[in-house]
Amino acid sequence: MSNSNKSCNSPVKNPPAKRKQRETGDVVSVSIQETLAIALAGQQERLGEMMTRIVDNAVGKLNHSITSMQKDLDALVGDVRTLSSRTEHVQSEMRTMKRQVLDNASGLEKVQLNLALLEDYNRRNNVRITGIPNNSERGNAVAFLQENLPKWFPSLAKTTIEIERAHRVRSAKPRGDFPETMILRLLRHGDRTAILNGARAAAKNSPIQHAGSTLRFYADYSAQTSQRRKAFSGIQKKLREKGIMSFLIYTASLRISLHGEQHTFTTPDAAEGFLRESQQMEM
């Protein structure tokens, strides 16, 4: 009995076959892990190589694009520099042309002025008369003037005034019976001066009349000189309204007499400024 119980209570040892099976399983497990590790390492290596190729390919394409863009940019910069150079050249040419135009304009203005002076010289013996009623001369302006000049200017009654020719200036737009200007050319310049001086003297007393019409006598100038002199008409009217004496001198300058002093101006603006200043000083 006692031997039987002792046999039942003793520990059961694993058989050798089971231990060998377990050791074999462990070896197989290690082998599988190693195989998986090798496979995973190879896969990682292949994946790394593939990623390297992809990155290298992308970087290569990017470098190619950058190089191409750089070339295009260099070409564009060259074009801009060429265009800038051409623009500077064009601007330089334009400045040169502008100077030439200004020089030509200045030269043309001088030529026009000289032509006007030459024409004025050719008209130095002419007198313009306004206000003579139309057809008063009855077809013979010279005879009409020789008869009436001594009447208009008694100081010339004992002077023989020789008139080369006389004619009316026909208007492009006739204004009914409005008297057309008459121009007479005198043989002597002194006669022209005597007539104009007589007209100025008469204007201070009473206007010269003919057939109920007031006559006015002017020197005959070229169109350019007449235009320059006409520009002073506005300021002359203001001066007359204020009782200030003024008169035009050749070619186109305004002389103002104020407080015993004479002031000469070559432009209407300068005369306007002088008038404003003189008024402010008197206030």
Per-residue pLDDT of 14-37, as tens digits, reads 566 666 666 666 666 777 888 888
Indicate the pLDDT class of residue 233, thresholds 50, 70 and 90. very high
Look at residue 228 and tell me whether its pLDDT is greater than 90: yes
Q: Which two tokens stand for residue 194?
A: 């005597």
Asked if 146 and 213 sit in the same domain, the reply is yes
Q: Which two tokens stand for residue 263?
A: 């002031």
Indicate the pLDDT class of residue 155, thresholds 50, 70 and 90. confident
Asked if 150 and 204 sit in the same domain, the reply is yes
Q: Residue 128 is part of a domain; what is its CATH number?
A: 3.30.70.1820
Asked if 213 and 157 sit in the same domain, the reply is yes
Asked if 207 and 279 sit in the same domain, the reply is no
Residue 160's pLDDT is 87
Cα 222–Cα 227–Cα 228 angle in degrees, nearest 5: 100
Nearest to 194 by CA among 157, 141, 143: 157
Asked if 282 and 263 sit in the same domain, the reply is yes
Asked if 280 and 208 sit in the same domain, the reply is no
Asked if 156 and 187 sit in the same domain, the reply is yes
CA–CA separation, 238 and 283 (whole Å): 17
Residue 145 lies in a domain: yes
Last residue of a domain, one of 220, 253, 274: 220
Asked if 188 and 132 sit in the same domain, the reply is yes
Asked if 90 and 169 sit in the same domain, the reply is no
Last residue of a domain, one of 89, 121, 153: 121
For the chain, the domain total comes to 3
Residue 31 lies in a domain: no
Q: Which two tokens stand for residue 144?
A: 């009409």
The contacts of residue 192 (CB under 8 Å, 6+ apart) are: 124, 125, 126, 127, 186, 219
Residue 14's pLDDT is 53
Asked if 132 and 215 sit in the same domain, the reply is yes
Indicate the pLDDT class of residue 7, thresholds 50, 70 and 90. very low
Count of C-beta atoms within a 10 Å radius of residue 150: 15
Whole-model pTM: value is 0.60
Residue 201 lies in a domain: yes
Residue 16's pLDDT is 64
Residue 15 lies in a domain: no
Residue 117 lies in a domain: yes
CA–CA separation, 95 and 243 (whole Å): 50
The contacts of residue 142 (CB under 8 Å, 6+ apart) are: 163, 165, 166, 184
Residue type at 78 in one-letter notation: G
Burial zone of 209 (CB within 10 Å; 0-12 exposed, 13-18 middle, 19+ buried): exposed
Q: Residue 233 is part of a domain; what is its CATH number?
A: 3.30.250.20
Last residue of a domain, one of 60, 87, 121: 121
Give residue-wise pLDDT tens across range 86-127: 999 899 999 999 998 988 888 998 999 899 999 999 999 999
Asked if 114 and 187 sit in the same domain, the reply is no
CB 130 within 8 A of CB 181: yes
Look at residue 270 and tell me whether its pLDDT is greater than 90: yes
Give residue-wise pLDDT tens across range 50-71: 888 889 888 888 888 898 899 8
Asked if 130 and 214 sit in the same domain, the reply is yes
Q: What residue numbers bound the domain in which 84 lies?
A: 76-121
> How distant is the alpha carbon of residue 154 from its chain centre?
57
**In the predicted model, what is the mean pLDDT of the chain?**
87
Residue 104 lies in a domain: yes
Residue 5 lies in a domain: no
Beta bridge partners of 253: 249
Residue 247 lies in a domain: yes
